[in-house]
Structure 1
């Protein structure tokens, strides 16, 4: 829920009566808290603030701040603790273990799949479907995520530990955590609850051969740098949803890591030096084997996603017979196709100069961006606050001086005294400045002026009565025109070129021989999951003849 940036709507100090009500709600939601812990948690002496926020998908969330850290968040009158709270009260919720590499997936917005859940020696906590649970990393009792169980404990075991186990709401390293002091989780030793666990711990201590698992406060240090190999490790992807290899692959990964750690001498370099060396190795491998000159300059986010994660190496060396050009072409096309996720596009409205008098009462200035639902609420509140609803007909709104100046044309000002609700709202939206917000996966939302241009597909006639398909505006949706051209060329076995769009700067179009709209539509709609409303020209596809 907080994997992307949210928008703060208001921030106010909590009142005394609201503080008492919150304490009662917390006591009802978390009966495990003792009276002393509750008094400490919701103290009368410490400053407590209430923040209203809107998440990237439009959810309205209330966040309670204590000592500049978010301690609770409320969604539809249900209270949830943050990781800051769970670090102080680690036993507040039933906890489930997972592997350290899974944390990065959870922080990116993924839910916790059952193959990624580690079965402790004492067994799982007994929970029902819908129970609020904490997620901890193997070797540390400090929770790193908060989620809701999608199955009961019995259903998890009956399903063979396959499927989605927990809908994750909040994690360590997400944007809600970043709103606090950004402290790292404490190191809390796991509770040993059965004799087998104690015996294993004693055996490890006596033999001195196997390292005791511990959690570093730095998430980048949770895996040994020496354990990373040139081939892309798929354990995290398996744990997060590719269930066909779940427990066996996870166990093999853990065994391989421990075996390699025993065989290799201890690295005397500091973690900072190790990570710097690893970064340099990944950088040189990307330049040597994957990145073309036309790709430079390269965004840091692209380098991290496409090259850093997939090309971690022990020692940089290009294998004999390795074809740099072909491997760069194939691997780059595959990486971009798999990594692409359709952007989230939200239409917004900006307050124009003419509309300032209507919106200034709600605290908005020129240029403020609002969603359609926010505009609707502001207009409704304005009408009610100024008692403009017609007494005889509730469907009509009386037009006062401000509404007249903002919403009526000069020719209408002497003729119209009332407006219907629908007409009032539609006129308001028409006179606001059109904006749109685009959010690409793993990036901050970007607000742009105007309505987003659709991907434009046209058919042009060339010499000898030959047709070509022209595709424009792919860049606006995070698609690489060169990558799209390469994929189309392979699928339809026709030549494709990239040419500049006349009259534009740094904008290109894809041109491919023949009418290829059928293949293009299948790729954009099915593979890239782009909504049809953002693609213009698909109706120009050739009509398929009937088979005889």
Structure 2
């Protein structure tokens, strides 16, 4: 949720009554929180600010800040502690332990997968689906992430520790952590470490074997000095322990200097480096001599974008070049790697590549690490496993019809599908002998049917009803509802018909067209994921906006009239039925040659 920067809406001091309400809410949300800890976290006489923000996906979040450190945040009326609180109260939440290399993936926005969870000798913590929990690293009880349990601990074991374990909402080193004093996790030794042998530390399951290889050296060092976790466990983010050997200290010191240099680099310099890497990668592995001359726009879209490492995105506007033409001009004049020529007025093409250039020949295409490959695999599987929800129309018993369904014990507000309504009405008619003897197609209207189904003007006139009229009147006087069932989740029932995915085209400054998409959340679609897919498909910029008057809806805006491409993505890839998509008729019509 906080992997990217958020936008601050307001920052105000909390009132005394709201401070007391916050304390009561915290005690209700975290029963293990003692009164002394609560008084220390939320002091009575010190300033406590309420900061309202919008996350990068549009979620409305409320932060509670003391001494410039966010201590708790509230999302959809649910309170979560930040890592700053958990470092002071490590036992506040049930915790899952993972390997240090996984931390970088959590910081990047990934969830904690069950194969990466280290099961302690005492077993997994007892959690239910949706419970708030924390994530720690091996040999340190200081939490580094907060999230919700995707499934219960019993289901985790029944699934063979495969699949998603914790849906992470906040991590150490994310933008919410950066909103505070940016302190590092303390060293809180695990109580079980003193009683654990080295052999037990090295025994891991087959699923954890890949992670074990990456941290084997770290485990050996921790075995010799297990009093506290070394800062190396955090992937080289902090300084190394002074107890390490001099040789390792000098080698790691060099690596740290390189990392510090990278951190000091500006985002513009990082984007320049990414452009150069993708450019060299594309020339080395993608472009063939037979393709020349090659349009520069095609080179960027079909070759450079596909060479971009997972988790990163090329944005030329954020580089020092600002335009593709200036970047290619630099590659031509400074590096002499390519020759760009304007074959058609206003359209540039790459006409020549120096395949024997030393810089190009010495370039080695980067390979994804095992952790990155696993993360990409999880994302691909997540897309493939998406199934559209099952949407059915159901009916709710109104106060007027309560007498009709009284024998079936269906009170006001009870929901039924049309078949069930028809069956219960038929049972009522037969139980009360209301079928007309000389004509079985008609039903006698008794006082109950009269009050429930007839208008006042019909009381003296209508004595019988046809079966079809009886059923249609019954359904017509019930509250229309819809039920949405996502695979593996409980049904969601709401009043009224479900809103369709709305696709519209609007004009912005200088008569530029933009395509707007809303109501994606109702069908289980992530607006950010849809925007990213469209951005790569049509090579146009996209923006997410919160829908005015709604707390949990996000509007996707993409440049140009992309109705046809949006419709293709929703119908073919996500398999959303056509009847639940509105606005496909606004797609631009293809021009026919005369």
TM range (shorter): 0.3 to 0.5
TM normalised by structure 1 equals 0.47
Higher-Rg member (1/2): 2
